[in-house]
Structure 1
Amino acid sequence: MLVWLVLFFTLGFFWCQKTAPRPYFGIYNRPGKWFYLKAIFIYLSIQWRKYQAKQKERSDARGNEQAGYGVSSCKDILSMERAQPLSNHPLAIDAILFSSSGKDGSYLVAAQARRQLRMNNTIFCLRIPSVGVLVHPKHPDTTMFTDCENSWHVEGLQMDLVDPMKKWKLSYQGPMLHQSKGTTHQVTLKAEYTSNFPYFDFDSDMDPWTIAKAMAREPWSKAYFENVRKAHQNHYEQLGEIHGSVKIDAIEYPLNLHVMRDHTHGSIRDWRLMHRYGIQSFTTENGFRGFLGTVCQPGTFSNLELGYVMTSDGQCAPVEEVDLPLWAHGEGGQHPEDFAFRFKAQGIWHEIQVKVLDSVEVFMGWEWEGRVLERFCRYTVDGVPGWGVSEWHFRHRGGRPKELAAKDPEYTQNVAKFPSGDE
């Protein structure tokens, strides 16, 4: 018995002396000696929060101030879908995105992020096979301004809620630039988004063990958990379809697209905190659909795997693992255009190949803190052909050109764009 006790304490002593493995490139944290103990603790905490939320669920569906990490922010879909009031924080956000693609090679990305000072970070680009890629004339800048306080209307692009979780209308009237030729074309978009699918709430529907592993990789401290709390944003997504048409000069083209739509709102979205992410959304010929990827935001989650899949019979399930290490894919700033990886959902590993056909580069934030690439792709998932959009992000430190900032409305020129002491 004494021998076993000595052996136990000796092994325990040497185990405690182990140092944390060095993060990849000094950024991407790796599992340490307490990884599984920490992960189990977080997993149980999430499950406990889920249990408490069910016990305290209110019939009036008011928002939950303790949302996230197993708990939904709200259950009233009208409250969720409509434009959210911005907090007083300079970096408050209320954003929607329509990321869509078709089997015929047509693609459409339309996004608006409502910010303070009536600024909307806006992305609008489309690809028609016989025409090419067209982009908003302000791109690669996304800093646009609106007179509409509580809607997603800016510089010709309008996205309007019709029926919560069922129907939206999208329209655009104005010029667009041909990305490769540099020519200007008059474009009119009239389209309708519809869906009968359930939405996926990232506050409550993500796989608990996946979140637990991501948090367990990080070095813990009081400051760490405070950063996690501050960085939280309410985010949900829904798959659907877009039908309509786009008229380019005098020629009209039909649009029949599969869509990933999302809505994000929160007190803070600080692009300076985000190092990278690589996200893929896809639809295959057999009806299998998904949204998945990896996010690196040092200080909170340096390696967060996330997403969900939708089977052909309408079943939605969270992604459990994404074998797509960002540090091995384009860490130097060049986004990969022909690559493959694996992901796990419903206990099954899937293989996915990605081939980028075209891409559009834009910059987000007052100082262009984020560089985003909307990539129009062909996919092969478990050997089945598919299509979709891949969005990759890189931290950008080159700043926004002064000649663009000088054209911003006068009322924005001398106003703090970031919290005091952060600029």
Structure 2
Amino acid sequence: MVVLLILGLVIGALMILVVVALKLLGLKPPLIFEKYPLKGIFYRVKFWLALLVLRRLRYRIYRRNEELLGSSEHLAKVDRPQELSNDPKSYDVVSFMAANKEGHKLMVTLERRRRGVLKAALYLWLPEKGLFSSPNLPDMIFFTTEDGEESHEFQGGGFHVYQEESMKVWRIKYEGVLKSQGDMSEAIPVDLDLRFRSSTVEHFDYNRDLSSSLIADSIAREAWNEKFYSLIRSVNHIVEKRTHYEQNGELSGKIIFQGKDLSLKMLGFRDHSFGTERCLSSINRYVYFALFLDDGSSMVVGNLSQPSFFLSSLKVGYVCSPSGKYQPLTWSNFELYSYGERGIPPQHQNFIVRTEEKEYLIQIEVEGSAVRFVGGDWESKVFNQFVACTVNGVSGQGHAEFLYRNKGGRPEDICSKDPSWYQNIKRFERSLTLLEEEAGDFIF
């Protein structure tokens, strides 16, 4: 009887300790600008717990399935244009960023959505002439099929981007006009034909390869409440619904520009993202740098703020060697609150990042910039910057993106040109959103 009493007291005490521990872990840390959490009093405990869980999850999902995930059959499956599901948020995106030491820079992005909706943008920076862009910008939406039929290619609006060899070669074509930036905007006929080539099938998968330490740091700064634990329980579902990888290589080919041939050869990367868990309306901010150095190496540095996903400040990135080997960043002092928090990106940025092997001092100088709006109702505003950089004394060129929330909506003079079926869908979505306490996710 005494033993049972003692056992009951011990169990009761343990339960109290667990409840107290959960309450303490759920305390809200101090916030900068009411958005970005600092390290709370229990940061270290939460960091090591998060790191342990992340490593176990990654082993179960990726490490023990390396043979399958690295097979040519699996890579061919994820590399081709994806079949869009019936999920209203289904998406498939392919993007390219590239630059060379002469200062030429190119950015192309195409996002396939249901019913033949294509969101596309092209920027070309020529050091002797300035910036040129696809004529629809700052709007990105094209309608590529009749009456909202489904599309199965990255094609429309003069663009055609397609795979020639799985995980090795992609072709980028654009035939149309590019408009010059500035007071005297001019439409210039352009015929672009480029190939992206990677010497290896190696790639950086954000779900698999992003530093566990960076993710654990972001998670450890958050309040661990019931919503957080619910998210952890559904992590397998989230991983299955979101794929994002990048592959570095060389972008080369020819552009017929103003009737003259312009040959380009640049370092670059290809980004492929697809799934159903990509909602811009829930992103507070992000900043993203893609830098291509004169020694043949490249690097990506970013910071994403998505508080609804318990990632108020998630640092991301990697360094890619000239031979195509990837090293994830393990630390960065690039904080969103220090760079452009008021809605205007800075013209100069200096910050430090580290991998397990090396520390990098990055210095950025902006040469030009442009604005585009993304989302079916312009939920976000993106500043695309075209930059020169120095990394540990090595010169380079590259791109930066600063994304902000945008509440102005898509202007009526643009919406009025949309097909009637699309206008009806958007009106229906807005009526649903007005019935909810918080804005819902737009289908497009």
Q: Indicate yes or no: 2:29 matched with 1:26.
A: no
Q: What TM-score does the superposition give when structure 2 sets the normalisation length?
A: 0.84
* 1:161/1:167 contact within 8 Å kept: yes
Residue of structure 1 aligned with 2:353, choices 334, 338, 343 = 343
Q: Aligned partners of 2:354 and 2:159: how far apart in 1? A: 37
* 2:30/2:40 contact within 8 Å kept: no
Give 1:88's aligned amino acid.
Answer: N
1:120-199 map, 5 Å: 120-147=118-145, 149-180=151-182, 181-197=184-200, 198-199=202-203
* Cα shift at 1:217: 1.1
Q: Indicate yes or no: 2:250 matched with 1:207.
A: no
> What is the identity percentage for the equivalent residue pairs of Structure 1 and Structure 2?
27
* Cα shift at 1:90: 2.2
- The change in CA–CA distance for 1:105 and 1:48 in structure 2 (over 3 A counts) is same
Point out where structure 2 has 5 or more consecutive residues left out of the alignment. Answer: 1-16
1:10-409 map, 5 Å: 20-53=28-61, 57=65, 76-147=74-145, 149-180=151-182, 181-197=184-200, 198-226=202-230, 229=235, 233-300=242-309, 301-409=311-419
Provide Cα deviations, 1:44-75, integer angstroms capped at 9, x if missing partner. Answer: 112212332468638665xxxxxxxxxx9997
* Cα shift at 1:124: 1.0
* Cα shift at 1:88: 2.5
Provide Cα deviations, 1:368-394, integer angstroms capped at 9, x if missing partner. Answer: 111112211101001111111112211
Secondary structure of the equivalent of 1:134?
strand
Q: Aligned partners of 1:365 and 1:87: how far apart in 2? A: 19
Larger Rg: 2
* Cα shift at 1:123: 1.4
* 1:137/1:176 contact within 8 Å kept: yes
Q: Aligned partners of 2:316 and 2:411: how far apart in 1? A: 34
Q: Aligned partners of 1:268 and 1:53: how far apart in 2? A: 18
* Cα shift at 1:311: 2.2
Give 1:336's aligned amino acid.
Answer: P
- How many residue pairs are counted as aligned between the two chains? 402
Q: Aligned partners of 2:332 and 2:158: how far apart in 1? A: 38
* 2:293/2:396 contact within 8 Å kept: yes
- The change in CA–CA distance for 1:320 and 1:56 in structure 2 (over 3 A counts) is closer
* 2:26/2:223 contact within 8 Å kept: no
The structure 1 segments of at least 4 consecutive aligned residues displaced by more than 3 Å after TM superposition are 15-21, 53-56, 58-61, 72-75, 225-232, 416-423
Point out where structure 1 has 5 or more consecutive residues left out of the alignment. Answer: 1-8, 62-71
The structure richer in helix per residue is 2
* Cα shift at 1:249: 2.3
Secondary structure of the equivalent of 1:214?
helix
Give 2:101's aligned amino acid.
Answer: K
- The change in CA–CA distance for 1:55 and 1:100 in structure 2 (over 3 A counts) is closer
- The change in CA–CA distance for 1:143 and 1:354 in structure 2 (over 3 A counts) is same
Give 1:210's aligned amino acid.
Answer: L
* Cα shift at 1:34: 2.0
Q: Aligned partners of 1:87 and 1:159: how far apart in 2? A: 21
* 2:255/2:262 contact within 8 Å kept: yes
Give 1:47's aligned amino acid.
Answer: R
